[in-house]
Structure 1
Amino acid sequence: MKIAILGSGLMGAKLGRLWAACGHDVTFAYSRDRAKLDHLAEETGGTAGSVAQAVDGADAVLLAVHWSRTGDVLEQAGDLAGQVVLNCCVPLNDDDSALVVGPDTSGAEELARMRPDARWVSCFNTSPSEAFEPVFARKDTTPRPHLMLYGDDDGAKDVARALISDIGFEPLEAGGLNTGRYAEPFAMVTAVLAYGQPGGPALTYRFDKLR
């Protein structure tokens, strides 16, 4: 699968590395430091380029930038018509201390309004990036930790499920894009637990229904 990684921070870099390890063709784009993109491309056997180059012909696009940068990166990406876009952004203020969208809408819904012809799925935004490599290393162990995904396009969700499974999570269906109204605050809870409690930030979760 050809995957465009828009953003070279912790989320984009880690997911790009792991998807490359699974055999996917990754292209890294959007960084203040072009050398960082080139390094990631060299490290993974992928490529680096502009946002427009990365999304052209991509089977999936990962949007992995700070919320304050979403307008800029989407402008460079174009209309994204028909493309599967995995959104892992949480709509945070500049110091990441509070949500700036909600409660009667969500970042997921606002992005869909900005690019209504894209096929949006939100995922990876409820797990700290520090968990990705340990989960990947344990992907043959069951039960796998859950990872929520939500969106309104079933076909796009199928793509997301496959890429979530590649990392080592069990995809957890959580409804339409409006689930972001509840999942984005939940992401803040996972951040508090990951970074504010003992034991390190590699936090995962799993929901089980008892019989």
Structure 2
Amino acid sequence: MKIGIIGAGNIGRILAERLAREGHEVSIANSRGPETVDASALSTGATAVWAADATNGADVVIVSVNFGQLPTVAGLVAEAPENAVIVDTSNYFPLRDGEVEGFEDGQVESEWVQKLYGRPIVKAWNTITTASFRDKAYAKDPATRIALPIAADDDTQRAVGMGLVEETGFDVFDAGVIADTWRQQPGTPVYTNDLTADELPAALDRAQRDRSRLRRDLMMKVYLERIEADGKEPDPERQLALTRAIF
């Protein structure tokens, strides 16, 4: 497939490297220019392009930017072919992205994204940290292989997304429709918890809307507190321990 990736940050770079390795024709763009895309993203054959060209003729467009940047890339998504599958990896953190009206009253973030783009989306790759995405893919033992939830309103588009998630080295769980993606937003039991396929369904069922928002903000405050106290980000295993302690 021809895949365009908008966003060359941590997750976008890894996606470009892995999906190109799987034989897809991958283009990746950031907000600056092709020459500024990290070489690691291009190591297996992906091509760095200008943002305006990232969606040209794409079968799949993956948007991997911070939630607060989504309005700035909406015009790029609008240029994608009508039948392109649009995949969103973003997560909303009000301390980082600013408050969005309606979210604290329970509006589902991915429904808001669909309205912003004016077209359906697939929600994927939003529940894993960069470190786990980088270091824990392709585990052969089901007892340690991480599973990721994926959701979409269109069954065919969901199937495309599920296939791509598997190609990046993880089990995949069909989490249903976009209206249910609040169960995989930050602060829920599946978020950055490195769960297996056996553990993930029950974790989705345990999600509670009101408590998830509280836990999301608690996670961010604890994370920032550790950075201030230690002078650096917590190492990956400590991040995982902090997340699990909250749940």
Flag whether TM exceeds 0.5 (same fold). yes
Amino acid at match of 1:114: L
Checking the alignment, whether the CA contact within 8 Å between 1:131 and 1:202 is kept in structure 2 is: no
Q: Which runs of 5+ in 2 are unaligned?
A: 194-218, 227-233, 242-247
* TM-score between both structures, scaled by the size of structure 2: 0.70
Aligned length: 201
Greater RCO structure (CA 8 Å; 6+ sep): 1
Deviation at 1:185, TM superposition (A): 3.2
**1:208 corresponding residue in structure 2:** none
CA-CA distance at 1:79 after TM superposition: 5.1
Indicate the structure (1 or 2) with the bigger Cα radius of gyration: 2
User: Is 1:53 matched with 2:67?
Assistant: no
The within-5 A match list for 1:97-176 is: 100=100, 101-117=103-119, 119-138=120-139, 140-143=140-143, 144-176=145-177
Q: Secondary structure at the match of 2:94?
A: coil
- Structure 1 spans left out of the alignment, 5+ residues: 204-211
- Counterpart CA distance in 2 for 1:2 and 1:40 is 19
The residue aligned with 1:4 is 4
Cα distance in 1 for partners of 2:74, 2:159 equals: 23
- The alpha carbon displacement at 1:37 in A equals 2.2
How well do the aligned residues superpose, as a CA RMSD in angstroms? 3.0
Q: 1:187 to 1:47 in 2, by over 3 A?
A: farther
Instruction: Determine helix, strand or coil for the equivalent of 1:172.
Output: strand
Give the secondary-structure state (helix, strand or coil) at the position aligned to 1:95. helix
Q: Is contact 2:17-2:45 (8 Å) kept?
A: no
In the other structure, the counterpart of 1:77 is 77
More helix by share: 2
Aligned equivalents of 2:95, 2:16: Cα separation in 1: 25
Change in CA separation of 1:131 and 1:41 when aligned onto 2, cut-off 3 Å? closer
Q: Is the 8 A contact 1:86 1:121 kept in 2?
A: yes
Identical aligned pairs, as a percentage? 26
Alpha-carbon separation, structure 2, partners of 1:54 and 1:6: 7
Following TM superposition, by how much is the alpha carbon of 1:181 offset from its aligned partner in structure 2, in angstroms?
2.2
Is residue 183 of structure 2 the alignment partner of residue 182 of structure 1? yes
